[in-house]
């Protein structure tokens, strides 16, 4: 049974990671609560399994070999603390984008590509929230038909930008003007999540395109457009898939319904329906009229839970079951 800790435990994803570890009775010998700076940790404690744990500044010196660390910090901060903790013997599952495209670091959605893990990894990357729900919907379809291309437009909730953004949304809904540095969330659609780069794509779009290809091990193009919408929790994706051969919608829906972690609906599910759930919901699977090789569907998930915290915990659960896992993790 390993020691386990959350780095960034005072943030939205970090708190949810801690909650899910308790909900799923993840085996923990000693829980460690970490923040990345003094302002987040000063005088604070967090409850875990009936006890309060002081929030500490993350330091490799406080890590014993085999400790499982769940990272819930920004990419810049992750690059500061992860190398030292890995050198100290920790196994890190990082939610930031810092190492997602590093070929030496597995990028994992357990229901889709668990086979890339050996149990000997010291660093595993958790994909982008929008990527996780997309690949969960695409994987069972790709197992039945060759995909030629995917087009996806996302409608991403404000919680994807963290607790300060949620507070900003609350303020704006109450009638306050946007504070400096924040977009107008309320009553608006923000059509670029982060500034566009030289090719016109914003970072969220690039992540979605590149991570999908890496996780699925395929080379079909993913045409992505991402937007922020005035919703608290729950990302929605409008997905169109072109296959090499006809794929009747009823057959596709059946394949999706049989896939772990996926719930199929035909009733018009929305973000309010998926908040607090662990499933990826695929709604209104349909063929494009006149072309039975094109499928369209809506894909939704709670971006804080399955899109971040739950996926990370599922990775750790998978590691514990692998025969090659270090003795300190068993």
Contacts of 136 (CB under 8 A, 6+ apart): 109, 111, 112, 259, 261, 262, 280, 299, 301
- The yes-or-no answer on residue 235 being catalytic is yes
Q: How many CB atoms are located within 10 Å of the residue 330 CB?
A: 14
Q: Where are the alpha helices (DSSP H) in 32-127?
A: 38-41, 75-87, 110-113
Catalytic residue among 7, 68, 129, 190: 129
Gap between the Cα atoms of 109 and 311, Å rounded: 7
Q: How many CB atoms are located within 10 Å of the residue 86 CB?
A: 16
- The yes-or-no answer on residue 85 being catalytic is no
- Asked whether the beta carbons of 75 and 204 are under 8 A apart, the reply is no
Gap between the Cα atoms of 319 and 118, Å rounded: 8
Q: Where are the extended beta strands (E) located within 86-169? A: 91-94, 123-125, 147-156
Gap between the Cα atoms of 271 and 184, Å rounded: 20
Gap between the Cα atoms of 28 and 20, Å rounded: 13
Element (H, E) at 166: helix 163-173
Contacts of 39 (CB under 8 A, 6+ apart): none
Contacts of 79 (CB under 8 A, 6+ apart): 98
Catalytic residue among 207, 214, 235, 306: 235
Contacts of 300 (CB under 8 A, 6+ apart): 133, 234, 235, 236, 237, 269, 270, 271, 273, 274, 280, 281, 283
Residue with tokens 């709604």: 283
Q: Give the residue numbers annotated as catalytic, written as ranges.
A: 129, 235
């Amino acid at each position: 049974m390993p020691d386990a800790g959350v780095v960034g435990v005072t943030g939205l994803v970090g708190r949810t990671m801690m909650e899910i570890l308790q909900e799923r009775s993840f085996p923990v010998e000693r829980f460690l609560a970490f923040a990345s700076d003094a302002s987040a940790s000063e005088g604070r404690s967090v409850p875990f399994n009936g006890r309060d744990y002081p929030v500490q500044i993350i330091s490799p010196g406080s890590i014993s070999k085999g400790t499982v660390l769940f990272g819930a910090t920004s990419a810049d901060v992750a690059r500061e603390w992860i190398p030292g903790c890995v050198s100290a013997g920790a196994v890190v599952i990082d939610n930031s984008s810092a190492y997602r495209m590093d070929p030496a670091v597995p990028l994992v959605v357990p229901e889709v590509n668990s086979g890339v893990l050996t149990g000997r990894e010291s660093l595993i990357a958790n994909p982008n929230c929008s990527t996780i729900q997309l690949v969960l919907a695409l994987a069972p379809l790709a197992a039945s038909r060759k995909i030629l291309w995917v087009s996806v437009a996302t409608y991403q909730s404000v919680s994807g930008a963290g607790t300060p953004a949620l507070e900003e949304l609350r303020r704006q809904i109450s009638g306050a003007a946007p504070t400096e540095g924040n977009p107008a969330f309320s009553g608006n659609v923000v059509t670029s999540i982060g500034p566009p780069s030289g090719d016109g794509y914003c970072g969220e779009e690039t992540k979605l395109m590149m991570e999908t290809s890496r996780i699925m091990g395929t080379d079909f193009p993913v045409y992505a457009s991402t937007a922020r919408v005035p919703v608290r929790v729950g990302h929605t994706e409008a997905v169109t898939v072109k296959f090499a051969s006809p794929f009747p919608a009823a057959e596709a829906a059946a394949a999706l319904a049989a896939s772990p972690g996926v719930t199929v609906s035909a009733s018009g599910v929305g973000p309010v329906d998926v908040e607090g759930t662990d499933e990826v919901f695929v709604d209104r699977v349909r063929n494009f009229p006149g072309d039975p090789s094109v499928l369209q569907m809506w894909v939704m998930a709670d971006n804080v839970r399955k899109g971040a915290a739950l996926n990370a915990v599922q990775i750790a659960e998978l590691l514990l079951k692998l025969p090659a896992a270090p003795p300190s993790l068993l």
